[in-house]
Amino acid sequence: MCGIAGFIDFNRNGNLDLLKKMSDTILHRGPDDSGHELFDTGSAQVGLGFRRLSIIELSALGHQPMKFEEEGLTVIFNGEIYNYQEIRKELEGHGYTFKSHSDTEVILKSYAKWGEKCVERFIGMFAIALYDAQKAKVILFRDRAGVKPLFYYHSNDLLLFGSELKIFHAHPQFKKQISYSALSLYFQRGYISAPHTIFENTYKLDPGHILEIDLQTKDVADWKYWDVVDCYNEPKLDISYAEAKKETERLMLSAFQYRMIADVPVGVFLSGGYDSTAVTALLQKNSTQKIKTFTIGFEDPKFNEAHHAKNVADYLGTEHYEHICTYKDALDMVDELPHIYDEPFGDTSAIPTTLVSRMAREKVTVALSADGGDEIFAGYPKYFNAVDRINQLNKIPAVVGKLIPAWLHSDVSTQNKLSKLKDYAASTNPVKQFDIISQAMTFYETQQLLNKEITQLNTPFDEGNKLNDAYYLLSKFQATEYKTYMVDDILQKVDRATMSISLEGREPFLDQRIIEFVAKLPTSFKYKNGIGKYILKDIVHDYVPREMMERPKMGFGVPLQSWLRKELKHVLLDVLNEQTLREQNIFNVDRVIKMRDKYLAGEPIEFQRLSYLFLFQLWYKKWMN
């Protein structure tokens, strides 16, 4: 739902036209309505801009910015508060009255009643900007899991904020100065971890955080109201497996049904894997109407799961829609990626995610996406492989040298394995060791690639000591990826893909009640006898036959490695030509050209590195030229 844009200008150089220009850059997030308010506090200008995608309260009563004039409050809000009806009843018991049926009005009056602590009552996804005239403050809130994005830029007595980075380019005082240390993070992982962004003085508000700006003192305070680490640091529950399964299913059904609340049509992305099948099965079992499900397939059988999804849909009895994507469909998307993903983004599954969003938008305005299941229930094989590697290396340090040949030929570590082994040996933090194993490049390698001075930025991978040492490595990896890969890769991918076509994406597994419960379950309930997502799979098998579900895990990607040698070769040569690279003065050009030419000659290289370079160059051409 929607997009927000705004500024706090202590120089008081803003105006309504500028605010409208900023918010219109995200017209795709909200084509149904717009609103703009400019306040002059005497010490600063506060601009609040809004683009609306109407989901709940379709009438003009849902218009934003929305005011609670008696309390001097004004709010703009991107997202949904799913339990707003229950909160509204509670507020009515305290004497509050309501003009609309919107969750936005519930936010305003919740803040009036409980202040910043109101956010602790919300079940939902949200990026909120609230102007409190009486306290002379602007307060930004981001939801616990980070489903909804919230960026801000702070420099020279100017603070810009909004749902996407492209908003800031519309402001004449925004300086699009690349942070090369953040660029190093991109080449390490394919995304840039919060709170960092590709630009200097520009940040992502961390999930579960609040940013408060004092309009009199200019002070900016950032604090945390929720952290998944705290969930994992709680004592494990003394509970039977049967009780855990029953409660997990109850919480899932509640979370899934909350995400069906809307005044517009709702559907589900169905891949046929366990996570999307769980969402579809529980909803269809408890619905009198057929759930709309959407699947995209590919002509290449290595990337095609459409037939699996159709089998599940037929078994559950959904109203199923399928589109087989041609190479041309996917190739045409490559040119659009830099506009949709306005920060360098290395996950090529953005292409099929955008295509399935476009298909779904023809039938619905809201689509449920089953992300988070692997992080919550321990589904990624890389977790188990890393646990084995780390345990092997840490238990027998005296003979690490004997393990080097096995490491060098393993599929756990990829490129420049000796560099990884060196970084690994220098770390005593198992979460950092997990990161090193998983990286596309080490920090040292990015130093060799970039023709710039860079520093190593802190990320949640450096904070493994915040997780209880008594718990398994598996839990530490899950908690950290919930704060990194899930939010800055998976959720960014889905938000931009869906909102690029004015489709609201909802994430039912990311209801905080699920992670707060499942994090406290014994690890054996999630990983047992070599099986990840054990309890989730057990729940699904009560709805769909085991033999229909059990198959090797597939990625949701595209064959970029093949395309760049054939169909996209001309684009690769254009963005990675020597003259362009030398003019940019960002990279060690000789290294890049050598990598490019080896790839084009069919020699073995670490393709992920080249793909990150290619996608960065597409981004640079769009936003920096």
Contact 75, 108 (CB under 8 A): yes
Q: List residues bridging with 528 in a β-sheet.
A: 531
CA atoms of 352 and 298, how far apart (whole Å): 9
Packing angle of the helix pair 274-285, 306-316 (nearest 10 deg): 20
- Cα 295 to Cα 259, 319, 369: the distances in Å are 19, 11, 11
- Cα 7 to Cα 70, 157, 616: the distances in Å are 24, 11, 28
CA atoms of 244 and 218, how far apart (whole Å): 49
What tokens were used for 587? 């990279």
Which among 571, 147, 127, 136 is positioned nearest to 372, based on CA atoms?
147
H or E element that contains 56 = none
Tell me phi and psi for residue 67, to 5 degrees: -115, 150
Which among 474, 483, 478 is positioned nearest to 390, based on CA atoms?
474
CA atoms of 155 and 160, how far apart (whole Å): 9
Cis peptide before 552 (omega within 30 of 0): no
Which among 185, 173, 555, 557 is positioned nearest to 344, based on CA atoms?
185
Which among 336, 388, 383 is positioned nearest to 357, based on CA atoms?
336
- Cα 186 to Cα 201, 416, 488, 490: the distances in Å are 17, 17, 11, 14
Q: Residues with catalytic annotation?
A: 2
Find tokens 């950092």 and name the residue: 432
Contact 278, 296 (CB under 8 A): no
What tokens were used for 24? 């219109």
